[in-house]
Amino acid sequence: MKSIIETLIYYRDNSIPTSDKRTQTWLESASPEIRQKLAKVGLLEIPDSHTLKELWDKFLEQKELDQRIGRIQESTLGQYEVARKRFFESFKETDLLAELSKETLAKWKTELLKRLAQGTVASQLKHTKSAFTWAVEQGWIEKSPLDGVGRGSFVNRERDQMISMDVYYRLLDACPCKDWRCIIALARIGGLRCPSEVVGLRWEDVNWELAKFYVRSPKTKHHEGKEGRWVPIFDALKPELEALFFDPPSEGREFVINRYRNPKQNLGTTFEKIVKRAGLSEIPRPFDNMRMTRSNEVYRKHGAY
C-alpha cells in the first residue's frame, strides 16, 4: 500500500494520469473505504456516482419502454423486476454504484449459491449484468463490476426429470378443464415452450388438413429463420386440440388457450395442484422437463422434425 500511495503522490504532483496496470488493478480492487480516503486527499478522482436505487429505477424504466414497443416480452420484464428485488436482499438502495467492486460481486455470487439453485443464480447474474452494462452505456461507470465474475450454467441437471406417458395421462385426468388438458398436451406431446408458445398459439395457425400447426416463438423471433416452426399434430395431441376446437365450437376465438392468458398468472401454482390431485410427487421445472422429454422421444424416433 505504501508503494502504491507513493506512486499516486508522484502522479498527482507531476500531473501524470494514473495509467500503469499495477496501480490501476490495485485501485479497482481496493475497498470503498480506502478509495474514499484516497479521494479526500486528492490521490484519486471518483466521478459523481449514482445510487443502486437510481440504477435499477432508470434501467427498469428503459425495459418498460422496450416492452411497450415490442423489443422484449412482458415475461422478460417480470424477470428483471424479480432480479431487482433479489438484488436488494443483499445490497442497500443508498449504496453507490461506483463503489461496487468485482470482489464484492464475486462474494455475492458465492452467497447466492448457498441458498439458490445454480440456474437461478445464473439468471440473477445475467439480468443484473444487463443493468450494469446499461450503466456503462450511460457513462455512469467505466466497466461492469460483474466483468470477470462467471455467470455459471443455467442448466441444473439435478432437476431434470423425464415425464413418462403414464404420468402424462395421470396429469390429464387430474386437470380441472379442457384448457389445462391442452396446455399439458401441447407441452408434453407438442414440445412447446410454456407459457410463451402455448398461450400464443392461434387457431389460424392450426392446419387440420395437413395435420400440423405453426408455432411462433417469442424467445427466438429476433433471430433470422427462427421466428417459428411447424409441429405435427401428433396422435396423442389431436383429441385435446379437437376438444377445444369443436366442443364447444371455437368460432370467434383467436387463441387456442383462452382461460389462462394473463401474463402475470402463475401456471406453476395450478400445475402443483394438478400434481397433488393426480397423487404424484413433486415435478421440478415441469414445463421444461415435459418439453425435454418430448424432444428426446422425437429425436430418438425421427431424428428431428
Alpha carbon distance 129, 149 (integer Å): 10
Q: What is the pLDDT, as a whole number, of residue 180?
A: 95
3-class SS string, 83-133: HHHHHCCCCCCCCEHHHCCHHHHHHHHHHHHHHCCHHHHHHHHHHHHHHHH
Domains and CATH numbers, the chain: 2-40 (no CATH), 52-158 (1.10.150.130), 162-302 (1.10.443.10)
Cα 228 to Cα 215: distance, rounded to the nearest angstrom? 5
Q: What is the pLDDT of residues 65-117, one digit of tens each?
A: 998 888 888 878 889 999 999 999 999 999 989 889 999 999 999 999 998 88
Sign of CA dihedral 36, 39, 45, 49: positive
Judge if pTM exceeds 0.75: no
What is the model's pLDDT at position 36? 73
| Dihedral over alpha carbons 128, 134, 136, 137 (to 10 degrees) | 160
Averaged pLDDT score across all residues of the chain? 86
Q: What pLDDT sits at residue 19?
A: 66
Mean pLDDT within 45-62: 86
- d(C-alpha 108, C-alpha 120), whole Å: 14
Residues in the chain: 305
For residue 225, is pLDDT > 70?
no
pLDDT digits (tens, 9 = 90+) for 261-293: 776 677 888 999 999 999 999 898 899 999 999
CA 287 to chain CA mean position, Å: 15
- Tens-place pLDDT, residues 128-184: 999 999 999 988 888 899 998 886 655 556 667 899 999 999 999 999 999 999 999
pLDDT band at 47 (very low <50, low <70, confident <90, very high): low
Chain centroid offset of residue 134 CA? 17
> Whole-angstrom Cα distance, residue 141 to residue 125?
18
